[in-house]
């Protein structure tokens, strides 16, 4: 067909067709708003709530909107010419998915910000340290955290810090025996009751 609903890449769109596409998008957005579908997307508080929202073309509001647009007994508006019920359902579904994608990005950004706020130092005097080749271990007053990624159903990854210890343990130095045959680490342990313990932990070779 010559009238595509979505034009890929940077394909040039004839002016008339571009105007027609904009008119169809305005119509679809207004219909989705009137049906309460956009409000449902905006009200979703979690990614799972958002993913549970599906486009259902059989609701009375959508059926009436499509019938009114096609107007079999009257002359249709120009941008509805040569379109069918299935084509209009496709446009509504496509616009629904665009808004859903936008809300998904907002929720991911909000969750990332919430995770960052949660792991940010609660006191300005708190000293946060990172260990590991990629800084994947974070040591703070509340304990030790490991940087992980949670894969969502959409394939996107949500960064998170997972707590693996409730005790603050800091690496102070690397140790070795006089014979250079037993390496280890020297750590500082801040116990939950406020006591500080320093401990040399040898690396036992298997």
Whether residues 70 and 128 share a domain: the answer is no
Phi and psi torsions of 120, nearest 5°: -70, 150
CB of 184 within 8 A of CB of 176?
A: yes
Name which residue leads in pLDDT, 15 or 31: 31
pTM of the model: 0.53
Whether residues 180 and 160 share a domain: the answer is no
Whether residues 43 and 74 share a domain: the answer is yes
Mean pLDDT computed over 154-163: 80
Range of the domain at 205: 169-206
Distance between CA atoms of residues 186 and 200, nearest Å:
4
Q: How far is the CA of 119 from the CAs of 14, 110, 113, 161, 199, in angstroms?
A: 51, 14, 10, 8, 27
- Cα 180–185–191 angle (5° rounding)? 155
In this predicted structure, the answer to whether residue 34 has a pLDDT above a threshold of 90 is: yes
Whether residues 177 and 196 share a domain: the answer is yes
């Amino acid at each position: 067909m010559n009238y595509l609903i979505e034009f890929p890449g940077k394909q040039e769109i004839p002016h008339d067709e571009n105007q027609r596409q904009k008119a169809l998008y305005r119509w679809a957005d207004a219909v989705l708003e009137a049906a309460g579908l956009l409000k449902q997307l905006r009200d979703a508080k979690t990614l799972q709530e958002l993913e549970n929202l599906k486009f259902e073309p059989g609701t009375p509001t959508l059926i009436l909107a499509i019938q009114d647009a096609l107007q079999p007994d009257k002359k249709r508006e120009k941008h509805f010419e040569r379109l069918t019920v299935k084509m209009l359902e496709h446009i509504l579904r496509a616009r629904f998915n665009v808004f859903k994608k936008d809300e998904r990005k907002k929720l991911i950004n909000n969750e990332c910000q919430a995770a960052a706020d949660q792991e940010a130092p609660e006191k300005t005097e708190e000293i946060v340290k990172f260990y590991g080749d990629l800084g994947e271990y974070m040591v703070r007053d509340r304990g030790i955290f490991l940087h992980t990624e949670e894969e969502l159903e959409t394939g996107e990854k949500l960064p998170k810090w997972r707590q693996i210890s409730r005790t603050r343990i800091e690496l102070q130095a690397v140790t070795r025996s006089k014979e250079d045959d037993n390496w280890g680490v020297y750590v500082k342990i801040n116990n939950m009751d406020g006591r500080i313990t320093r401990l040399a932990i040898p690396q036992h070779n298997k």
